[in-house]
């Protein structure tokens, strides 16, 4: 395992990548309504990122064909964009990444399309909450397993499934770096975090069973029972006193 420590110049580039990504996600959020298409959201994201002099991180990553992942309802992650209009009551997880001067950022949000059920709304809210529970109290010297354990505890205490086939990750000059950050695990386990580590923490939850399958496009991961899924991700920096969120 090779966990890189970023210096101040590298962190500055990641902050910039994170800021452009946050603005991209804000733009997308403001453009989600019944009748909208994820292909259009993809164009908005691409155009905004390019207009900032940055590059989309996901486009052509191992052949992925879009700037954003757009995962609707039972789709957990890596959803393909489509010309099918979003419907009132849908939820859509948008995952996106930006490269600024060779450094990546990565973040995801699940958004409501119009009015959604209380069940779906709670799932989105608790998934976001599990991210903040995961990083609460984290700083240089903390164990990685603390994050994994707290995310699992939060989601499972609400009766939600924790998707185990996918995980968070280190991030920097590559979109995916060491370490792998599971969304479940033991409190006092894993590597000891150091100041200058940059990590993408990303709980993925399901309203029903946590079992998932890979769709025929070989990318999209979807719940087996068809239950809705939510995703919440930020890129964070570990500091000596705590955590700095780079994509909020």
State the minimum distance, in angstroms, from the CB of residue 169 to Mg ion. Answer: 6
In this chain, which stretch among 153-161, 179-187, 215-223, 225-233 interacts with Mg ion, using CB under 5 A?
Answer: 225-233
Stretch of 14-22, 41-49, 98-106, 181-189 contacting Mg ion, by CB under 5 A = 98-106
Asked if 221 interacts with Mg ion (CB under 5 A), we say no
**Counting contacts by CB under 5 A, is residue 106 touching Mg ion?**
yes
Q: Contacts with Mg ion in 229-248 (CB under 5 A)?
A: 233
Distance of CA 6 to the CA centre of its chain: 21
Asked whether 201 and 156 are in contact (CB, 8 A), the reply is no
Q: Mask: binding to Mg ion, 163-202, rule CB under 5 A, as x and -? A: -------------------------------------x--
Closest distance between Mg ion and the C-beta of residue 142, in Å?
Answer: 20
Q: Identify residues 16-75 at the interface with Mg ion (CB under 5 A).
A: none
**Options 10, 90, 95, 133; binder of Mg ion; rule CB under 5 A:** 95
Q: Name the 3-class secondary structure at 239.
A: coil
Of 108 and 207, CB closest to Mg ion? 108
Q: Is 126 exposed, middle or buried (0-12, 13-18, 19+ CB in 10 A)?
A: buried
**Residue 173 CB, nearest approach to Mg ion (Å):** 15
Shortest distance, position 94 Cβ to Mg ion, whole Å: 9
Q: Is residue 14 a contact residue for Mg ion (CB under 5 A)? A: no
Beta bridge pairs of residue 243:
238
> Residue 235 — φ and ψ, nearest 5°?
-90, 130
Cα distances from 140 to residues 106, 183, 195, 234, in angstroms, run 21, 20, 5, 18
Range list of H helices, 136-241: 144-157
Residue pair 179/3 in contact (Cβ under 8 Å)? The answer is yes
Pairing of strands 243-245, 234-238: antiparallel
CB of 233 to Mg ion, least distance (A): 5
The footprint of Mg ion (CB under 5 A) covers 95, 106, 108, 200, 233
């Amino acid at each position: 395992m090779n966990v890189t420590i970023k210096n101040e110049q590298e962190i500055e580039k990641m902050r910039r990548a994170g800021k452009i990504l946050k603005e991209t996600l804000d733009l997308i959020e403001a453009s989600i309504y019944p009748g909208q298409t994820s292909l259009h959201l993809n164009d908005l994201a691409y155009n905004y990122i390019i207009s900032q002099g940055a590059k989309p991180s996901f486009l052509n990553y191992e052949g992925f064909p879009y700037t954003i992942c757009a995962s609707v309802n039972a789709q957990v992650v890596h959803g393909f964009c489509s010309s099918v209009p979003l419907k009132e009551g849908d939820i859509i997880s948008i995952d996106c990444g930006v490269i600024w001067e060779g450094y990546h950022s990565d973040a995801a949000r699940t958004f409501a399309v119009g009015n959604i059920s209380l069940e779906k709304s709670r799932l989105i809210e608790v998934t976001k909450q599990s991210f903040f529970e995961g990083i609460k109290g984290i700083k240089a010297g903390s164990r990685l397993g603390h994050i994994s354990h707290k995310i699992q505890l939060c989601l499972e205490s609400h009766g939600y499934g924790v998707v185990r086939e996918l995980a968070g990750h280190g991030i920097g000059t590559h979109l995916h770096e060491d370490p792998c950050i599971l969304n479940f695990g033991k409190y006092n386990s894993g590597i000891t975090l150091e100041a200058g580590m940059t990590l993408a923490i990303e709980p993925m939850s399901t309203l029903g069973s946590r079992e998932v399958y890979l769709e025929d496009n070989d990318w999209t991961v979807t719940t087996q029972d068809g239950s809705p899924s939510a995703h919440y991700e930020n890129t964070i920096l570990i500091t000596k006193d705590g955590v700095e969120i780079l994509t909020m």
